[in-house]
Amino acid sequence: MADQHVGFPGSVNSAQLSLWVPNVGVGQYHVEGLEDARVVTNAVGDRGVFVKPGRVIGDGIMDVFESNTQLNFASVSTGSPDRWDMVVLRRLWNATPGSSTSTYTIITGGPNRSLPARNNNKGVLADQPIALCRIKAGSTTVQEIVDLRCWAHNAGMVALDKLVMSYQDQIGTTIDINGETWCYRVVQSGSTLSTEWKMLTKIDHIQLGPLYAGGLYGSIPNDISFQIQAGTIVQNADQSGYARITFPAPFPNGLLTVLITNGDSAASNGAMFPVEGNELLWGPSGIGDKNSVVYTCLVFNGSSYRPTPGLHHRINWLAIGW
Protein backbone atom coordinates (compact mmCIF):
# COMPACT_ATOMS: atom_id res chain seq x y z
CA MET A 1 0.00 0.00 0.00
CA ALA A 2 1.22 3.49 -0.80
CA ASP A 3 1.98 6.07 1.89
CA GLN A 4 -0.92 8.34 2.81
CA HIS A 5 -0.82 12.01 3.78
CA VAL A 6 -4.26 12.89 5.08
CA GLY A 7 -5.32 16.50 5.70
CA PHE A 8 -3.47 18.31 2.93
CA PRO A 9 -5.53 20.09 0.23
CA GLY A 10 -7.65 17.46 -1.47
CA SER A 11 -10.25 14.96 -0.31
CA VAL A 12 -10.48 12.70 2.74
CA ASN A 13 -12.39 9.46 2.26
CA SER A 14 -14.57 7.86 4.93
CA ALA A 15 -11.97 5.24 5.95
CA GLN A 16 -9.34 7.93 6.44
CA LEU A 17 -11.77 10.20 8.27
CA SER A 18 -12.35 7.68 11.07
CA LEU A 19 -8.63 7.77 11.89
CA TRP A 20 -7.78 11.33 10.93
CA VAL A 21 -10.31 13.24 13.06
CA PRO A 22 -9.64 11.41 16.38
CA ASN A 23 -5.88 11.75 15.90
CA VAL A 24 -5.56 15.38 14.83
CA GLY A 25 -8.02 16.46 17.51
CA VAL A 26 -6.10 15.17 20.55
CA GLY A 27 -2.68 16.79 20.21
CA GLN A 28 -0.54 19.13 18.15
CA TYR A 29 2.20 16.55 17.58
CA HIS A 30 2.21 12.82 18.30
CA VAL A 31 2.50 9.32 16.87
CA GLU A 32 0.08 6.40 17.02
CA GLY A 33 1.89 3.25 18.16
CA LEU A 34 4.91 2.41 20.29
CA GLU A 35 7.14 1.79 17.28
CA ASP A 36 5.60 4.31 14.86
CA ALA A 37 8.31 6.69 13.53
CA ARG A 38 10.89 5.32 15.96
CA VAL A 39 14.46 6.16 14.92
CA VAL A 40 16.95 3.28 15.19
CA THR A 41 20.54 2.88 14.05
CA ASN A 42 21.63 0.68 11.15
CA ALA A 43 24.76 -0.07 9.15
CA VAL A 44 23.52 1.23 5.79
CA GLY A 45 26.20 3.77 5.01
CA ASP A 46 28.06 5.91 7.54
CA ARG A 47 26.08 7.20 10.54
CA GLY A 48 22.95 5.53 9.25
CA VAL A 49 19.51 5.32 10.86
CA PHE A 50 16.08 4.44 9.65
CA VAL A 51 12.73 5.82 10.73
CA LYS A 52 10.23 3.03 11.25
CA PRO A 53 6.86 3.09 9.46
CA GLY A 54 3.60 4.11 11.09
CA ARG A 55 1.27 7.04 11.70
CA VAL A 56 2.66 10.48 12.53
CA ILE A 57 0.28 13.33 13.37
CA GLY A 58 1.09 17.04 13.39
CA ASP A 59 -0.37 20.42 12.40
CA GLY A 60 -3.65 18.83 11.27
CA ILE A 61 -1.96 16.24 9.02
CA MET A 62 -1.86 12.47 9.54
CA ASP A 63 0.98 10.81 7.63
CA VAL A 64 0.92 7.04 7.22
CA PHE A 65 4.27 5.55 6.17
CA GLU A 66 4.31 1.93 5.04
CA SER A 67 8.08 1.24 5.13
CA ASN A 68 11.35 2.31 6.75
CA THR A 69 12.92 5.62 5.73
CA GLN A 70 16.73 5.60 5.50
CA LEU A 71 18.73 8.65 6.66
CA ASN A 72 22.47 9.29 7.00
CA PHE A 73 24.10 12.03 9.06
CA ALA A 74 26.99 14.19 7.89
CA SER A 75 30.37 13.67 9.53
CA VAL A 76 31.86 15.83 12.27
CA SER A 77 35.21 17.48 11.60
CA THR A 78 38.21 16.02 13.44
CA GLY A 79 38.78 17.79 16.75
CA SER A 80 35.26 19.26 16.84
CA PRO A 81 32.86 18.50 19.71
CA ASP A 82 30.00 16.07 19.29
CA ARG A 83 27.08 17.47 17.29
CA TRP A 84 23.39 17.03 18.04
CA ASP A 85 21.32 16.76 14.85
CA MET A 86 17.54 16.47 14.78
CA VAL A 87 15.42 14.14 12.67
CA VAL A 88 12.16 15.85 11.71
CA LEU A 89 9.15 15.16 9.55
CA ARG A 90 9.00 18.14 7.18
CA ARG A 91 5.60 19.09 5.80
CA LEU A 92 5.27 21.38 2.78
CA TRP A 93 1.76 22.53 1.90
CA ASN A 94 0.67 23.18 -1.70
CA ALA A 95 -2.74 24.44 -2.75
CA THR A 96 -2.82 21.94 -5.62
CA PRO A 97 -4.31 18.63 -4.42
CA GLY A 98 -1.69 15.89 -4.41
CA SER A 99 1.29 18.28 -4.50
CA SER A 100 1.88 18.66 -0.75
CA THR A 101 4.69 16.59 0.74
CA SER A 102 5.76 15.04 4.05
CA THR A 103 9.37 13.85 4.14
CA TYR A 104 11.83 12.89 6.85
CA THR A 105 14.97 15.01 6.89
CA ILE A 106 17.83 16.06 9.17
CA ILE A 107 18.41 19.51 10.70
CA THR A 108 22.07 20.09 11.61
CA GLY A 109 22.46 21.07 15.25
CA GLY A 110 25.23 22.23 17.55
CA PRO A 111 27.33 20.93 20.47
CA ASN A 112 24.54 21.23 23.06
CA ARG A 113 21.91 18.61 23.81
CA SER A 114 19.09 20.86 22.66
CA LEU A 115 16.73 21.18 19.71
CA PRO A 116 18.09 23.24 16.79
CA ALA A 117 15.89 25.84 15.10
CA ARG A 118 13.17 24.36 12.88
CA ASN A 119 10.54 25.54 10.42
CA ASN A 120 7.26 26.26 12.19
CA ASN A 121 5.02 28.03 9.67
CA LYS A 122 1.92 25.88 9.99
CA GLY A 123 0.05 25.45 6.74
CA VAL A 124 3.11 26.50 4.72
CA LEU A 125 6.30 24.76 5.91
CA ALA A 126 6.67 23.09 9.29
CA ASP A 127 8.95 20.49 10.92
CA GLN A 128 7.79 17.93 13.49
CA PRO A 129 10.64 16.79 15.81
CA ILE A 130 11.12 13.01 15.88
CA ALA A 131 14.56 12.35 17.42
CA LEU A 132 17.76 14.11 18.49
CA CYS A 133 20.94 12.24 17.52
CA ARG A 134 24.52 12.68 18.74
CA ILE A 135 27.23 12.46 16.08
CA LYS A 136 30.89 12.03 17.06
CA ALA A 137 34.00 13.00 15.10
CA GLY A 138 35.77 10.05 13.53
CA SER A 139 32.85 7.67 14.10
CA THR A 140 30.76 6.04 11.40
CA THR A 141 27.89 5.24 13.79
CA VAL A 142 25.35 7.38 15.60
CA GLN A 143 26.35 7.62 19.26
CA GLU A 144 23.02 8.36 20.94
CA ILE A 145 19.35 8.78 20.02
CA VAL A 146 16.97 10.86 22.15
CA ASP A 147 13.35 9.97 21.43
CA LEU A 148 11.30 13.15 20.86
CA ARG A 149 8.04 11.42 19.98
CA CYS A 150 4.84 11.86 21.99
CA TRP A 151 1.72 9.72 22.27
CA ALA A 152 -1.71 11.29 22.76
CA HIS A 153 -5.28 10.02 23.11
CA ASN A 154 -8.34 10.42 25.34
CA ALA A 155 -7.19 13.75 26.87
CA GLY A 156 -3.73 12.51 27.83
CA MET A 157 -0.21 12.81 26.43
CA VAL A 158 2.98 10.94 27.33
CA ALA A 159 6.63 11.23 26.27
CA LEU A 160 10.05 9.89 27.20
CA ASP A 161 12.31 12.96 27.47
CA LYS A 162 11.86 16.51 28.80
CA LEU A 163 13.24 17.93 25.56
CA VAL A 164 9.75 17.46 24.08
CA MET A 165 8.72 20.51 26.14
CA SER A 166 10.87 22.57 23.76
CA TYR A 167 8.33 22.11 20.97
CA GLN A 168 5.10 20.96 22.69
CA ASP A 169 4.59 24.56 23.80
CA GLN A 170 0.88 25.12 23.26
CA ILE A 171 -0.82 26.69 26.31
CA GLY A 172 -2.76 24.07 28.24
CA THR A 173 -0.56 21.15 27.18
CA THR A 174 -0.38 18.55 29.95
CA ILE A 175 2.11 15.74 29.50
CA ASP A 176 3.48 12.82 31.50
CA ILE A 177 7.25 12.34 31.13
CA ASN A 178 8.59 9.30 32.95
CA GLY A 179 6.23 9.69 35.88
CA GLU A 180 6.36 13.49 36.08
CA THR A 181 3.25 15.37 35.01
CA TRP A 182 3.89 18.83 33.52
CA CYS A 183 1.49 21.57 32.43
CA TYR A 184 2.26 24.52 30.15
CA ARG A 185 0.30 27.25 31.89
CA VAL A 186 -0.34 30.99 31.99
CA VAL A 187 1.17 33.00 34.85
CA GLN A 188 -0.08 36.46 35.80
CA SER A 189 2.09 39.05 37.57
CA GLY A 190 0.14 42.27 37.96
CA SER A 191 -1.01 43.14 34.45
CA THR A 192 1.67 41.01 32.77
CA LEU A 193 0.93 37.54 31.42
CA SER A 194 3.63 34.97 30.71
CA THR A 195 3.87 31.22 30.25
CA GLU A 196 5.83 28.49 32.02
CA TRP A 197 6.09 24.74 32.42
CA LYS A 198 4.93 23.69 35.88
CA MET A 199 5.40 20.23 37.30
CA LEU A 200 2.09 19.09 38.80
CA THR A 201 3.11 15.72 40.21
CA LYS A 202 6.25 13.63 40.25
CA ILE A 203 4.61 10.24 40.74
CA ASP A 204 0.99 9.19 40.51
CA HIS A 205 0.99 7.00 43.62
CA ILE A 206 3.21 5.16 46.06
CA GLN A 207 2.93 1.39 46.22
CA LEU A 208 3.66 -0.18 49.62
CA GLY A 209 3.13 -3.86 49.97
CA PRO A 210 2.10 -6.50 50.14
CA LEU A 211 1.03 -5.31 53.59
CA TYR A 212 -1.52 -5.94 56.32
CA ALA A 213 -2.89 -3.45 58.80
CA GLY A 214 -2.69 -5.69 61.88
CA GLY A 215 -6.15 -7.20 61.53
CA LEU A 216 -8.07 -4.23 62.96
CA TYR A 217 -8.66 -2.52 59.62
CA GLY A 218 -8.30 -5.55 57.37
CA SER A 219 -6.09 -5.99 54.37
CA ILE A 220 -5.00 -2.95 52.35
CA PRO A 221 -4.93 -3.75 48.60
CA ASN A 222 -1.42 -3.96 47.21
CA ASP A 223 -2.25 -1.57 44.36
CA ILE A 224 -3.79 1.13 46.56
CA SER A 225 -2.79 4.75 45.90
CA PHE A 226 -1.21 6.18 49.03
CA GLN A 227 -1.30 9.91 49.75
CA ILE A 228 1.22 12.04 51.62
CA GLN A 229 0.60 15.17 53.68
CA ALA A 230 3.14 17.17 55.66
CA GLY A 231 3.35 20.39 57.62
CA THR A 232 4.53 22.26 60.72
CA ILE A 233 2.51 23.49 63.68
CA VAL A 234 3.03 25.46 66.92
CA GLN A 235 0.65 24.68 69.80
CA ASN A 236 0.34 23.75 73.48
CA ALA A 237 -0.16 20.34 75.03
CA ASP A 238 -3.36 19.80 77.03
CA GLN A 239 -3.56 19.25 80.80
CA SER A 240 -2.41 15.66 80.39
CA GLY A 241 0.49 16.34 77.99
CA TYR A 242 -1.26 15.41 74.74
CA ALA A 243 -1.88 17.32 71.52
CA ARG A 244 -3.51 16.63 68.16
CA ILE A 245 -2.63 17.14 64.49
CA THR A 246 -5.70 17.62 62.31
CA PHE A 247 -4.82 16.92 58.69
CA PRO A 248 -5.54 19.69 56.14
CA ALA A 249 -7.47 17.12 54.08
CA PRO A 250 -8.88 13.93 55.62
CA PHE A 251 -7.48 10.75 54.14
CA PRO A 252 -10.19 8.91 52.15
CA ASN A 253 -9.84 5.65 54.07
CA GLY A 254 -7.39 5.97 56.93
CA LEU A 255 -3.91 6.74 58.22
CA LEU A 256 -1.10 4.28 57.60
CA THR A 257 1.67 6.00 59.55
CA VAL A 258 2.83 9.39 60.77
CA LEU A 259 6.29 10.75 61.60
CA ILE A 260 6.68 13.67 64.04
CA THR A 261 9.96 15.48 64.68
CA ASN A 262 10.87 18.30 67.06
CA GLY A 263 10.69 21.62 65.21
CA ASP A 264 12.43 23.68 67.96
CA SER A 265 14.39 21.60 70.43
CA ALA A 266 15.66 24.61 72.41
CA ALA A 267 12.19 26.04 73.03
CA SER A 268 10.65 22.70 74.01
CA ASN A 269 13.58 21.51 76.14
CA GLY A 270 14.42 18.60 73.85
CA ALA A 271 10.95 17.10 73.96
CA MET A 272 9.94 13.94 72.10
CA PHE A 273 6.57 13.50 70.39
CA PRO A 274 5.54 9.87 69.92
CA VAL A 275 2.21 9.15 68.25
CA GLU A 276 -0.54 8.08 70.64
CA GLY A 277 -2.79 5.17 69.70
CA ASN A 278 -5.30 5.33 72.57
CA GLU A 279 -8.75 6.06 71.12
CA LEU A 280 -10.19 6.90 74.57
CA LEU A 281 -8.21 10.12 74.98
CA TRP A 282 -9.58 12.56 72.42
CA GLY A 283 -11.73 10.33 70.30
CA PRO A 284 -10.44 8.48 67.21
CA SER A 285 -6.66 8.52 67.10
CA GLY A 286 -3.72 6.54 65.81
CA ILE A 287 -3.46 4.14 62.91
CA GLY A 288 -6.63 4.03 60.82
CA ASP A 289 -7.97 7.51 61.61
CA LYS A 290 -8.85 9.64 58.56
CA ASN A 291 -8.83 13.12 60.06
CA SER A 292 -6.21 13.49 62.78
CA VAL A 293 -3.67 11.92 65.11
CA VAL A 294 -2.91 12.45 68.79
CA TYR A 295 0.67 12.56 70.09
CA THR A 296 2.31 12.79 73.51
CA CYS A 297 4.60 15.65 74.55
CA LEU A 298 7.42 14.01 76.54
CA VAL A 299 10.18 15.93 78.35
CA PHE A 300 13.11 14.30 80.18
CA ASN A 301 12.84 15.01 83.94
CA GLY A 302 16.26 13.68 84.95
CA SER A 303 15.39 10.01 85.05
CA SER A 304 12.79 9.40 82.33
CA TYR A 305 10.62 11.06 79.70
CA ARG A 306 7.22 12.08 81.12
CA PRO A 307 4.12 13.76 79.60
CA THR A 308 4.34 17.53 80.13
CA PRO A 309 1.03 19.40 80.55
CA GLY A 310 0.71 22.70 78.66
CA LEU A 311 4.08 22.34 76.86
CA HIS A 312 4.47 25.04 74.21
CA HIS A 313 6.17 23.39 71.24
CA ARG A 314 6.70 23.25 67.49
CA ILE A 315 6.61 20.03 65.51
CA ASN A 316 7.16 19.02 61.90
CA TRP A 317 5.06 16.12 60.70
CA LEU A 318 4.64 13.79 57.72
CA ALA A 319 1.65 11.47 57.35
CA ILE A 320 0.94 8.67 54.86
CA GLY A 321 -2.66 7.53 54.38
CA TRP A 322 -4.85 5.80 51.84
What DSSP assignment string belongs to 33-97? Answer: SSSTT-EEEE-SSTTEEEEPPEEEEETTEEEEE-S-EEEEPPP--TTPPPEEEEEEEEEE--SST
CA 28 to chain centre: 18
Q: Examine the domain organization and report whether 103 and 176 are in the same domain.
A: no
Q: Is the residue at 93 inside a domain?
A: yes
Q: Domain limits at 94?
A: 4-158
With a CB cutoff of 8 Å and minimum separation 6, the contacts of 229 are: 247, 248, 249, 251, 318, 319, 321
Nearest-angstrom CA–CA distance, 96 and 2: 19
The answer to whether residues 209 and 220 touch, using CB atoms and an 8 Å cutoff, is: yes
If one counts every other C-beta atom within 10 angstroms of the C-beta of residue 152, the result is: 22
Q: Examine the domain organization and report whether 87 and 220 are in the same domain.
A: no
Q: Examine the domain organization and report whether 195 and 244 are in the same domain.
A: no
Q: How many structural domains are present in the chain?
A: 3
Q: Is the residue at 164 inside a domain?
A: no
Residue 252 has what pLDDT?
Answer: 81
Residue 227 has what pLDDT?
Answer: 82
Residue 281 has what pLDDT?
Answer: 38
Q: Examine the domain organization and report whether 233 and 283 are in the same domain.
A: yes
Angle at the Cα of 16 from the Cα atoms of 12 and 19, rounded to 5 degrees: 130
Q: Examine the domain organization and report whether 49 and 82 are in the same domain.
A: yes
Q: Is the residue at 252 inside a domain?
A: yes
Residue 311 has what pLDDT?
Answer: 94
Residue 213 has what pLDDT?
Answer: 44
Closest CA to 101 of 114, 110, 92: 92
**In a structure prediction context, what are the per-residue pLDDT tens digits for the chain, which is 322 residues long?**
789 999 999 988 988 999 999 999 899 999 999 999 999 999 999 999 999 999 999 999 999 999 999 999 999 999 999 999 999 999 999 999 999 999 999 999 999 999 999 999 999 999 999 999 999 999 999 999 999 999 999 889 999 999 999 999 899 999 999 888 999 999 999 999 999 999 987 665 555 555 444 443 445 555 566 788 999 999 999 999 999 999 998 888 777 788 999 988 887 888 999 986 544 333 344 445 688 888 999 999 888 999 999 999 999 999 888 7
Nearest-angstrom CA–CA distance, 108 and 295: 63
Q: Examine the domain organization and report whether 177 and 311 are in the same domain.
A: no
In terms of Cβ atoms closer than 10 Å to its own Cβ (0-12, 13-18, 19+), residue 150 is buried
The whole-model pTM stands at 0.69
Q: Is the residue at 12 inside a domain?
A: yes
CATH code assigned at 281: 2.60.40.3940
Residue 206 has what pLDDT?
Answer: 56
